[in-house]
Amino acid sequence: MKKIFIYISLLVFLFVATSCNGGGNKNKEYNKLKVLSINDLHGAIDQNDDNYGMSGISWYVNEQRKVEGQAVLVLAAGDMFQGSAISNYYYGQTVVELMNDVKFDAMTIGNHEFDWGLEEVLKYVDGNEDNYEANFPFLACNLLEKETNELPDLIDPYTIVDFEQFQVGIIGYIGVGIETDISASKVEDYYFADPVPYISNISKDLRENKGCDLIIVMGHDDNSTTQNQIAALSGSSSVDMIIAGHTHVTYTRYLTNGNGVEIPLTQAGTAADALTDTSFLYNKEDNTFGEGYADTVDLCDYEIGIDEAIQNKVDQMNDKIEPVMGEVLGIASKNVNRSSVGNWTADAILASIDCDIAAINSGGIRSSAFPINEGYSVTVKKIYEVMPFDNFIKVCDLTGSQLINIFKRIQDIHISSNLVIDGNSYYLNGALIENDKVYRFACVDYLYDRDAEIYECGTNVEFTGILVRDIMINTLKLETSNGKKWLED
């Protein structure tokens, strides 16, 4: 489809150019802007059967840059770092290095940029070359500090990319309500304001005072109400394209903006399995852009090549951490799924922490790490893929009635197997849970901080400083040393 579109676009270009010349408008010419965007990379810089990694993305970007007269803009809509061993091990530096090599123009802050603490990610734009620097800005116009109601230092509301014939303004935002997808302790100093008024004011300023000819809004968000409100902006506040993220779906759609123009709305899946390719034709004579045409490039189905320089760099990065990540911890005893690993992890926490019962949120075990088939050699790298988040264990005291309320209310958790539920009765280690008795409850900090009842009712709270992932690694090592395969009955 893409090849057909490029061919048709060239024919249209030639026809229009010939027609204009024939009509005497010899000074009229078109310049094309190509907007390439990805989102939710989650550290997936490696090439595998499911995606083409950063080497495939780079190849496609470079092919577009070879097209004569075509300006290329490369954007990322957040959640770029957290999610793979090679990225997590270096707190995202490997991804930043490769994004620099590909020459990304801007990136929006996503919820997973908070996972290590926002300050950990912002060091890549702090001007200190000793901790490596991104050559592109981090954007989020509505990410505000509670104390000041201002943007944090080092985050920009927008950026302007200046091409020879025109300027493009890119406004970033993070979705309202996405705070709930972040550990409360990591986001407690910030709030995400309604982005629409900010976008309206910034777009107007960019057009009227900064000389921008095209406005792109890039949000780590896929809320249709917000997207429709942004599209409805009119006059100088109007926007020409919306790039989405967060929900890991792939689509190209169109909304009608407040000036009656159809604008592209795109999202490009996750983990380098797709990118969106949007084209705008620019009329230099009257300084206007035509409507954007958006297409999705499935990086698994499209005839993608490899940027050898990028792939060599990725290989070197992998080689560097292979002594750590390549260690085999155990062998899968059967086909392993996400649910069974979640239950096993809750039991591993119970065995490793001084507590009566343990739990982990289901989302902490990532579906992208599966399937894991019988006989698979489970490495440290695989455990990073299963549990990419740096979640720590917190322990607190809760009464039996509080525990039961939590278990009734929260559905997306795995609880240690010493809890048995029989109808409305809850048994712990074979004994009925007593409403007024105090129990020691261990869980990941994400669950503890996110749930109001645990956060507010828990007493005698202990932050252990122990990573869930380390518990998983050590437990699997112990089981193997005892002659047991992983998840063996």
Q: How far apart are CA 289 and CA 281, in angstroms?
A: 6
Query: What does the pLDDT read at residue 6?
Result: 36
Residue 6 vs residue 69, higher pLDDT: 69
Q: By three-state DSSP, how is residue 361 classified?
A: strand
| Across 266-295, average pLDDT | 90
Q: What is the pLDDT of residues 221-241, one digit of tens each?
A: 999 999 999 999 999 999 999
Highest mean pLDDT among 22-31, 308-317, 405-414: 308-317
Q: How far apart are CA 489 and CA 485, in angstroms?
A: 9
| Across 266-293, average pLDDT | 89
DSSP code at position 151: P
Q: Percent of the chain scored above 90 by pLDDT?
A: 77
pLDDT of residue 478 exceeding 80, the answer is yes
Buried b (16+ CB within 10 A) or exposed e, 434-453: eeeeebbbbbbbbbbbbbee
Q: Percent of the chain scored above 70 by pLDDT?
A: 94
For residue 23, name the pLDDT band (cuts at 50, 70, 90): very low
Mean residue pLDDT across the chain? 90
Region of residue 309 (phi > 0: left; psi between -120 and 50: alpha; otherwise: beta)? alpha
Query: What does the pLDDT read at residue 104?
Result: 98
pLDDT of residue 3 exceeding 60, the answer is no
DSSP code at position 433: P
Q: How far apart are CA 291 and CA 262, in angstroms?
A: 7
Q: What is the pLDDT of residues 168-189, one digit of tens each?
A: 999 999 999 999 888 888 899 9
Q: What is the pLDDT of residues 291-302, one digit of tens each?
A: 999 998 887 777
Query: What does the pLDDT read at residue 475?
Result: 97
Beta bridge partners of 252: 266
Q: How far apart are CA 358 and CA 474, in angstroms?
A: 17
CATH 3.90.780.10, applies to 326-481? yes
CB 280 within 8 A of CB 290: yes
Q: How far is CA 200 from the centre of its chain?
A: 25
Sketch the domain layout of the chain as residue ranges. Answer: 2-317, 326-481
For residue 14, name the pLDDT band (cuts at 50, 70, 90): very low
Domain 2-317 maps to which CATH number in 3.40.50.720, 3.60.21.10, 3.30.1490.20, 2.40.50.320? 3.60.21.10
Query: What does the pLDDT read at residue 284?
Result: 76
Those residues whose C-beta lies under 8 Å from the C-beta of residue 360, and which sit 6 or more positions away, are: 342, 345, 346, 349, 413, 414, 443, 444, 447, 468
